[in-house]
């Protein structure tokens, strides 16, 4: 399945306006971020690889746990959460989603905030939030 077909199947979109000059590689990565991909050069051709984002996220999560001085056995997953900030398409105002959502019995105390430009759909924001949490 092509990257575009995968985005269409999931309902991933990118809705953003660049208001300042941005280097082309940075613009490409901003455009690809909501679909968990980034660009790379293959000779003189630009290509897209979604797997690089997952590998980088895995490595970053492992390193952050190592730096914090604890291992997976000591980490309280029930209290950790990720919050994705996005612009909601129904109001065009900033909005947030959290994964895992707070419940009556468990409340997050150390939510990590991530801003993802270009996402305007709550369902897509929630999927990305769950992805970041699982990384």
**What HEC string does the chain produce?**
CCHHHHHHHHCCCCCCCCCCCCCHHHHHHHHHHHHCCEEEEECCEEEEECHHHHHHHHHHHHHHHHHHCCCCCCCCCCCEEEEEEEECCCCCCEEEEEECCCCCCCCCCEEEEEECCCCCCHHHHHHHHHHHHHC
56 or 129, greater pLDDT: 129
- Two structure tokens written together for 133: 């949490």
pTM above 0.85, yes or no: no
pLDDT of residue 52: 53
Distances (CA, A) of 31 to 16, 26, 28, 92: 8, 9, 5, 19
The pLDDT tens digits for 72-118 are 444 455 568 999 999 999 999 999 999 998 888 878 888 899 999 99
In this structure, of 12-16, 79-83, 106-110, 123-127, the range with the lowest mean pLDDT score is: 106-110
- Two structure tokens written together for 105: 């019995």
Q: Which domain holds residue 35?
A: 3-134
Sort 20 into a burial class: Cβ within 10 Å, 0-12 / 13-18 / 19+. exposed
pLDDT of residue 38: 87
Q: How many domains does the chain have?
A: 1
Which of 70, 23, 32 lies closest to 51, judged by CA?
32
């Amino acid at each position: 399945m092509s990257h575009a077909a995968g985005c269409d199947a999931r309902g991933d979109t990118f809705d953003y306006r660049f208001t300042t000059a941005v280097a082309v590689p940075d613009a490409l990565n901003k455009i690809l971020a909501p679909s968990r991909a980034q660009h790379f050069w293959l000779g003189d051709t630009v290509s897209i690889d979604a797997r690089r984002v997952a590998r980088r996220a895995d490595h970053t999560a492992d390193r952050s746990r190592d730096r914090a001085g604890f291992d997976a056995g000591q980490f309280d997953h029930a209290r950790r959460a990720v919050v994705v900030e996005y612009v909601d398409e129904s109001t065009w105002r900033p909005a947030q989603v959290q994964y895992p959502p707070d419940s009556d019995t468990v409340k997050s105390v150390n939510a990590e905030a991530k801003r993802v430009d270009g996402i305007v759909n709550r369902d897509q924001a929630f999927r990305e939030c769950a992805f970041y949490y699982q990384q």
